[in-house]
Each structure stands twice: as structure tokens, then as C-alpha cells.
Amino acid sequence: MKKYLTPKYIASGVVGILLLTSGLFFMFGGATSSGSNSSLPSGIVPGPAGIVNGALVGTGQTAWVLTNTGTASNAQHLSVVTGKIDEIIPTSINATSIAVSSRNVIAVGAGTSTSGFVQFFNTVSKNSVGTVATAGPVTALCRVPNSNNLYAMISTPASKAIQILNPSTMSLLKYSLPLPSDAISFTASADGSSIVVLKSTGKVTYVATATGQVTQTFQVGADPIAVAVNPSGTRLYVLKGVKAENVAIIDASTEAVLRATAAPKNARSIAITSHGASIVNFVGTNSLGNIQSFSAN
């Protein structure tokens, strides 16, 4: 009896071949779900080579990505739907992170082994509109909820902390927030009351922004890379990977891992769309780059 390939399996095979030949095929290890196609991305668009960080704009139809190929670094604005790039702004070769500060302003964090700064760019003129020196190398940036201010994660051999930048005055607020020495990334809670800190030990710690006190700590799994939170603050999304890339979806109130979904190999950072329905993975190597979306539900 002859067996025929259905359109469903043909389509799945084509997707797999395209991803495999891109060198950025996503891994399934550690991902579980009741849906048969939940591990497949809902959207894949090409991106520039060397993506190291990304930030969604507005509802998530477009994004700013920071690229660094080792010889050049740029902030690039592109469509998350088509991958079309419409703006390119050269940045410091030491750039590490990017954030959207306001409608026409982006911020790029940078750092060497001994110093750091955040540079602001007007996205219309593509010119630098100011630079703020920080207490050390900037390793991550995040916009303060309901504000144009920014949180900058400063990492030195001696300590780690969050500094707050005011783009309007191009200055640092005097108040800073100490972080655990094993912090590797962070994001702000949806209501701004806490900093959600991702630690190299595979734990998440909530640090109250008003007092600096730790209010919650729980395990999220080994090999953490980046963390994001949905708009309502009810879910955390932790990108993990080395051998089996995945995103752990966590109930913020119960601390339970609800499930894990696949993530692309070489994913560098993640973001959640404003409606909370999609996980956007920013993927890059020195020679390749793309953006892949997965269901957040």
C-alpha cells in the first residue's frame, strides 16, 4: 500500500530545511506542550548579521536591533513582519544593548572592561543627541515602565547595580539599586515596583525598586540567557540554552513552570509583544541573523 505525504508534512519539511540551511535551526530539547505544532515558530523573518540584542517598538510590528559583527556595530530598525530594514545608525563597537527611550529616541548601552556609557540617538536625524557616562560597563538596558527613563545594568568585577538615566536632562539619578553578584540580565516588572533579575545559577530574584530588598526568589532552570515579562505581569519568560534552547513560561504568582517552548539556536534576547500573545526571539551570529516569533500562550 502506497503512503503519500500530506501537505501538512510537506510544509513542515520545507520549514525545517529552510531553517537548517540558515544555520539557525531551533532546538526541541526540553520543550513540551500539548499542541502538535506549538514548537514551530509562528513567524520567521530575515535579519542583519550579528544581532546581539533587540527591542520591540509599540505593539511589536517593528523592532530596533543592535548588531555587532566584530568589525562594525549598528542600530537597525526593521519590520518584524517582513524583515525590511528602513533605518541604520552606526554605534560604538563596544555596544552591548539597546532600548527604545521614546518615540524618536533610542538608547544604546556600551562598555569596556573599565568604563561604560549610554548614548542616545534621534531616529529621525540619526544623530547622537547625548551621552551619559555610567559607573561601569553597561551590559543591559530596560525602559522604566510608564516613563521615558531607563534602567542600565552596570557590571564590574567588584559589583553589579542598576543605574537610572533621565534622557531629558542627560543625567543619572542619584539613586542606584544594588544587584546580586551573579546577576546576568534583568527586566522591569510590569508595574515598575520591582526589578526582575536573572542569575547565572538559574534563579530569578525580584528586587523592590523602592527599597532594594529581595522580595521573591525561585528556580527557573539551568543555562539562563535573558528574561522578559508579559504586560500584565502574570507570566515570566526565561530564555535558556547552550545545548537545548528553550523558553520557560512561568506563572509569576505560583512560581511554577507552566511549560517550555522551543527557542532558536543562537537566540540572544527575547521580548514579549504588547498584547502578550507572542514571544519574539532575536537571533544572531557574526554571519547570520533573523527574528523568530512563537506563541506565548
Per-residue pLDDT 10s for the chain (297 aa) are: 433 444 444 344 444 434 433 444 433 333 333 333 457 888 999 999 999 999 999 999 999 999 999 999 999 999 999 999 999 999 999 999 999 999 899 999 999 988 999 999 999 999 999 999 999 999 999 999 988 899 999 999 889 999 999 999 999 999 899 999 999 999 999 999 999 999 999 999 999 999 999 999 999 989 999 999 999 999 999 999 866 789 999 999 999 999 999 999 999 999 999 999 999 999 999 999 999 999 998
In a domain, 72, yes or no: yes
Q: How many domains does the chain have?
A: 1
In a domain, 1, yes or no: no
> Cell 500584565 belongs to which residue?
232
In a domain, 236, yes or no: yes
In a domain, 10, yes or no: no
* Distance from chain centroid for Cα 244: 18
For residue 149, CA distances in Å to 143, 251, 272 come to 6, 28, 20
Q: For residue 15, what pLDDT is reported?
A: 42
In a domain, 13, yes or no: no
DSSP state at residue 286: S
**Helix ranges, the chain (H):** 7-22
CATH of the domain at 226: 2.130.10.10
Q: For residue 108, what pLDDT is reported?
A: 98
In a domain, 6, yes or no: no
Q: Which domain holds residue 287?
A: 25-295
In a domain, 15, yes or no: no
In a domain, 18, yes or no: no
Q: pTM score, two decimals?
A: 0.86
